[in-house]
Amino acid sequence: EAAKTAYAPYSGFHVGAAVLLEEEIIVSANNQENVAYPSGICAERNTMFYANAKYPEHKPLAIAITACQNGKFTSNCISPCGACRQVLLESENRYKSPLRILLYSENEIQVIESIKELLPLSFSMES
Ligand code: THU
């Protein structure tokens, strides 16, 4: 549903994300592009920032991500870009809890138990 309302007139790549928070709250959003390309933002960051802005007291437990092109889900899963991985890592560190990542596509579903699997040797507060 979130991917359907993405604003992606430049790439035609519609990404949707949904963050599950404690108390079964779900926040969803999508990518928002801009004619000045770097001013746009990915679905994952947009969604996590909104979840953190609206429900700062609720721990994010999982994020689901999917993408559509020409009205169809991609054949295989897409996974978050580097900048989004860094933002998702911040959530794990802030709330001291692993964030499960669910990737959905036409042919496969992938479940990753922690963003640390996608961002090894990361820069964090301990650094
Ligand atoms: N995009 C996302 O929203 N999430 C990803 O994981 C990869 C890429 C967006 C950015 C841009 O609006 C479009 O997809 C094409 O890269």
Q: Residue 48 Cα, ligand 1 centroid: separation in angstroms?
A: 14
Does the pTM exceed 0.75?
yes
In the beta sheet, which residues pair with residue 27?
A: 19
- Catalytic residue list contains 126: no
Q: Which amino acid is at 1?
A: E
Q: Residue 114 Cα, ligand 1 centroid: separation in angstroms?
A: 20
**For the residues of 69-110, what is the DSSP string, one character each?**
ETTEE-SS-----HHHHHHHHHHHHHHTS--EEEEE-SS-EE
Cβ–Cβ under 8 Å, residues 108 and 73: no
Of 112, 36, 123, 32, residue with least CA distance to 78: 112
Residues 54-87 have pLDDT tens digits of: 999 999 999 999 999 999 999 999 999 999 999 9
Report residue 127's pLDDT band, with 50, 70 and 90 as the boundaries.
Answer: confident
